Amino acid sequence: MRLLAISDIHGNRTQLRHILSRASPADVIALAGDLTHLGSPDEAEEAVELCRRHTPLVLTVTGNCDDELIEKHMTRNGNSLTGAGRIVDGVGFFGVSAAQPFIGNTWEVGEGVLAEWAQRGYQAVAQAKRKVLVSHPPPYGFVDMSYHRSHGGSRAIRAALDRYDIALVVCGHIHEARGMARYNDTLIINCGPAWMGFYAEVEMGQTLTAELKQAT
């Protein structure tokens, strides 16, 4: 399976088009939140529709710069992974939206809510051979160092890596922390902000390989 991972579009559909025009063919696109920058459900749907033209199967979580209305829209349209799961060719995708309290003026929820979403989603894909967590916030301590030199990741997501068998985490949120890290057997990818042209491509064969890319 080939996975195209994109996060933090923040409404910049021009850059999203650049990414999609340069990205390799994929079986699944995972959007890891902040489809809009405090935008509308219609704006988020436009971003998803652009992605569908590249790859029909688009799975989403929403970010702190989206909101619950956008999340409900993604759920109605069958894209959302938040607190839910989807098994595709033996790979189980599940997701966590929003973010833990950090900025203070966007869609933030308690760590307990993030943990509940992770638990419910994992249970939905527990029978899958390989599991992928699509989370807007990164796990605390991994690809989450902010400009303020503080960790901006979620402790609930970090705890999920200890509790569950997760092969891959696709995340974003902390734009400046773009990169990859490993925690035990889990590969963690902070895709970087798509509004700046960043994304990641993942090959999920017998081994799991990934590459961070930029549309230039």
Report how far residue 84's alpha carbon sits from residue 133's, in angstroms, rounded to the nearest whole number.
Answer: 11
**pLDDT digit string (tens) for 117-150?**
999 999 999 999 999 999 999 999 999 999 988 9
pLDDT single digits (tens) 29-38: 999 999 999 9
- d(C-alpha 39, C-alpha 202), whole Å: 29
> In the structure, what pLDDT confidence band is assigned to residue 103 with cuts at 50, 70 and 90?
confident
Quote the CATH superfamily of domain 2-214. Answer: Metallo-dependent phosphatases (3.60.21.10)
Q: Check the CA dihedral 32-122-125-165 and report its sign.
A: positive
Region of 69 please: left (phi>0), alpha (psi -120 to 50) or beta.
alpha
Sign of CA dihedral 24, 33, 61, 79: negative
pTM listed for this prediction: 0.97
